[in-house]
Amino acid sequence: MSTPIIVAALYQFTPLSYPEQLQKELKAVCHEQGIKGTLILASEGINGTVAGTRTAIDHLKSFLAHHFDALEYKESSAATMPFRRMKVPLKKEIVTIGDPSVSPIHLKGTYVDPQDWNALISDPDTLVLDTRNDYEVKIGTFRGAINPQTQTFSQFPTFAKTLPKAKKVAMFCTGGIRCEKASSYMLSEGFENVYHLKGGILKYLETVPPEENLWEGDCFVFDERVALATGLAKGQFERCFGCRHPISKEDKDSSFYERGISCPHCYHTLTDKKKLRARERQRQEDLAQQRGYSHLGDSQR
């Protein structure tokens, strides 16, 4: 029996005066423990998702406890390692809204626990906003939620300017970080009644019983599992290598789908040269798997 893989999603907005040193230490810890994934560091805190054995993740948690006192932390599991490598980049923001003055460290909305979320979003006076990207929203969202139809989170401020400031606003995202930062932006713009789901969709799906669940569809995640369902079970979607878009069974039945090359979302945007190169890469990867070893191009996925 294979060893279960623990997937840990975490973040905290907190001032970091030594991100470069912490980057070196995190790289060393994750390398030593065989942990893979991404941990983003910035002067405003930490954000990321990583995976490893139970022992490895516990070791990382212990290390992080010396540097962060209030991590928003949640776990799920995977049958196999969902990441190809480990990255610890230094960035200007741990989640990019494009405005360095927006700071949940100093200003943020009201947390709403998952068990209280249904009552808030069922209130007809509440404007429910999905702060994720359009391709994420399309495979699942909360009943009645508004899709801003953004391609990147940095487009959210432009959308927010179209909303009535008198309304009570409830926001959510995958793990809680985007809606927390969005709440800071909206408060700075004059919105007064701003709420966000603590722990995000993942914590909601983990803790709210299926019979009480107001979530519809799957929740997109940024790893090889692609999407999770109620109870954090693996969902039904896969990912297109050509554009990284989540694809359904119906997408795979399309004449525009070619495994490892294209799907209906990207077929017409790929040049013949790119398709040819992708077919050769897929052929080499299939050959490598048949021989029982990883293809070098695998790490680039």
Local confidence band at 300 (pLDDT 50, 70, 90 cut-offs): very low
Task: Say if residue 298's pLDDT is above 70.
Answer: no
> Could you give the CA distance from residue 58 to residue 64 in angstroms, rounded to a whole number?
10
DSSP lists the bridge partners of residue 39 as: 48
Local confidence band at 198 (pLDDT 50, 70, 90 cut-offs): very high
Does the pTM surpass 0.75? The reply is yes
DSSP lists the bridge partners of residue 267 as: none
Task: Say if residue 295's pLDDT is above 50.
Answer: no
Give percent of the chain with pLDDT exceeding 70. Answer: 96
pLDDT tens readout for residues 23-64: 999 999 999 999 999 999 999 999 999 999 999 999 999 999
Given the structure tokens 């390692």, which residue do they identify?
81
The per-residue pLDDT for 289 is 72
- Contact present, 53 and 35 (Cβ < 8 Å): no
> Could you give the CA distance from residue 103 to residue 100 in angstroms, rounded to a whole number?
7
Active site residue 173: yes
210, 211, 257: which is closest to 232 by C-alpha?
210
Q: Are strands 215-217 and 140-142 parallel, antiparallel or unpaired?
A: antiparallel
Report residue 267 CA to chain centroid gap.
Answer: 25
Cβ–Cβ contacts within 10 Å for residue 166, how many?
10
Q: Which residues contact 215 (CB under 8 A, 6 or more apart)?
A: 140, 141, 142, 143, 201, 204, 205, 208, 230
Active-site residue, from 173, 179, 219, 266: 173
Residues counted in the chain:
301
Domains and CATH numbers, the chain: 5-87 (3.30.70.100), 110-217 (3.40.250.10), 247-300 (no CATH)
Average pLDDT over residues 177-199: 97
Sheet strands (E) in the chain: 5-13, 36-42, 45-52, 72-78, 86-87, 110-112, 126-130, 140-142, 168-172, 194-197, 215-217, 219-220, 227-228, 238-239, 246-247
DSSP lists the bridge partners of residue 246 as: 239
Task: Say if residue 293's pLDDT is above 70.
Answer: no
Q: Which residues contact 196 (CB under 8 A, 6 or more apart)?
A: 108, 109, 110, 111, 112, 170, 171, 172, 176, 179, 180, 182, 183
